[in-house]
Structure formats: structure tokens, C-alpha cells
Structure 1
Amino acid sequence: MTATIRKATPDDLDTVAPLFDLYRVFYGKPSDPALARDFIQARMARNESVILLAEIGRDTVGFTQLYPAFSSVSATRTWILNDLLVVPEARRSGVARALLVAAADFARDDGALRLELETDHDNATAQALYHAMGWTAYDGTLRFRLPLR
């Protein structure tokens, strides 16, 4: 079966929150379902992100979360694909690809200049997919980070 992708609504909070918790665990954070739920609920309530859900039949098998950003030089919107998760039992079935296509379609339809993402240097599986789908590394600049806590 192929995945159906749709935009999440506030009614999907109890579906998205556990997936977001799994995403955080994947990146080494301890499971914290309450924190995950509160974070997703705040993003939805404030319209601070767009969440796309992947469904196969009645099962939600993945999600991606996009955050708006802007390019001052180009004077236009960009989107940051910050989170992408496919549950283990649905991996290698085209779900991640479908989510990436849907994210690009969403950003393009929104008139965005580009869609950006970042992944760990050792996530070769994700990098291979991104390259295969036409994503290119753009890190010709130096990226800096200022920790605030």
C-alpha cells in the first residue's frame, strides 16, 4: 500500500504527539510524552508549524514538521523541514519519500523560495534519500550556533 499524506489539524494532536516523542527518542532524548504533547499542542495553537501526516490504511506511520523562515536577501519565505519520522515497521516502503514530496509541494504552493533541512553527518540512509530526490548540500557558508542554555 502507498501512503496518503495530509496536513494535520488540532484534532490530530493525540496522533502526532507520540510520533514526536519517538522522533525525540531517535535523537537521543529520553521519552517524555507530556513534553511532546505540550510542544506539539503549542505549535498547533500558535500556527507556528505545519505538520504533514503519512497514513497507510487507518495507521499513521510517519510525519514531518515544517517551520516557516524568511530570506531577507531574497525578501521571501522559506521553509525548514525540521522533523521527519517514519515508524520502524513502515520504513523502506516509500513513506519518507512521500513525506518529502508532500513537503516540497506544500512549500512550492506557498510560494516559498526553498525548503531546507539538516541531518546528522552519520545519517547515511537519510542523506542517500535526500541526494536521490535532488536535495543538494549548500553549506558553502560557515554555520554558527550560540547556546542560550
Structure 2
Amino acid sequence: MDERLNIVKAGLEELEQVATLFDLYRQFYHQDANIELATNYIEQRMKTDSSVIYLALDKNKQALGFTQLYPSFCSVDATPIWILYDLFVDKNARQKGVGKALMAQALQLATETGASRIDLETAIDNKQAQALYEGLGYERDDEYYKYCLEL
């Protein structure tokens, strides 16, 4: 990892930076820009400790990317797991190791908390993310189908 890159556990002091990136992340997945929604959502995650958010900062404390993980459990293994739901790197910071550094921090969290695994999903056409995940040893699930009921 580049020594000029700092990964921090985001708190309310970083709310604006995380919310800005989260809004861009949602736009990447074809949602309308909505900084108010993004800010409210991230603020609630922070205030309730319902997720862990890591923020990548450059030497000037500019936000480059973030990842958000939710704690969960695997009933079959009877162990805790983490769901890595969000990973986003600003377009100007891509291909510079930011995503890899955020993924390393997620792995450290999972290891330190005794989790048995990290689960994640990505869009079928997001080849860049797939390459990152597979390069880090993540395996695509060909055994189970994912289902979703939109409400």
C-alpha cells in the first residue's frame, strides 16, 4: 500500500466525505444523485453502529474511496460473517491500490472479529471489481442462486 494512503474507520467527523462518495457509489449503480439521502443513510449507520465504514484518505486528507461492511451470521457454520456491501473508489483514484487497501482493511476486521468469511456481490458487468476480488482470492459462487423480493 502507498504510504501516502491512510485507511481510517469513519465516524461522524468523516460523515460529509463518506456521504459524498456514497452518493457517487449509488449513481454508479444507476440511482439518482441525492446527497441528502446519502448523508442521512450514512449518518444512521454511524450513529447506530450498524455497519463499519472504512475511508481511504490521501496525504492531504482527501477522500479517495470507502467500503461499508455489515455484521451478520452463518447459521450453517454457526459463526459470525461480514457482508461487504459497498466498495467504491473515486474515478480519479482508481488503479492506484485504493480498492485493494480497503479490501485488506476489511479482511483485517473479519480476522480480528473471528468471522469465518466475508460475503460480497457485484454487478455482472463490473469486470474491474471482479478482477480485484478474484485477485485477492475471493471465489465466485456457482453453487447457489441469489433471490430477491423487491418491496
TM-score, length basis structure 1: 0.95
- Shift of the alpha carbon at 1:143? 1.8
TM-score scaled to structure 2, two decimals? 0.94
Partner of 2:49: 47
Q: How far does residue 44 in structure 1 lie from its aligned partner after superposition?
A: 0.8
Give the residue type in structure 2 aligned to 1:99: L
CA spacing shift, 1:70–1:60, aligned 2, 3 Å: same
Cα deviation, residue 59, structure 1:
1.1
The ranges of structure 1 where at least 4 consecutive aligned residues each deviate by more than 3 angstroms after the TM superposition are none
User: Distance between the aligned counterparts of 1:138 and 1:121, measured in 2?
Assistant: 13
How far has the Cα of 1:138 moved from its partner?
A: 2.2
Q: How many residues align?
A: 148
- Corresponding position of 1:4: 6
Q: Which residue of 2 aligns with 1:18?
A: 20
SS, match of residue 81 in structure 1: strand
Counterpart of 2:36? 34
Displacement of 1:75: 1.5
Note the residue ranges of structure 2 that are not aligned, 5 or more in a row.
none
Equivalences for residues 94-133 of structure 1 within 5 A: 94-133=97-136
| 1:63 counterpart letter in structure 2 | F
Shift of 1:60: 1.2
Alignment deviations for residues 95-123 of structure 1 (CA, whole Å, 9 cap, x no partner): 00000111111111111110011001111
Q: Summarize deviations over 1:19-47 as a string: whole Å, max 9, x none.
A: 11010011100100000000001111111
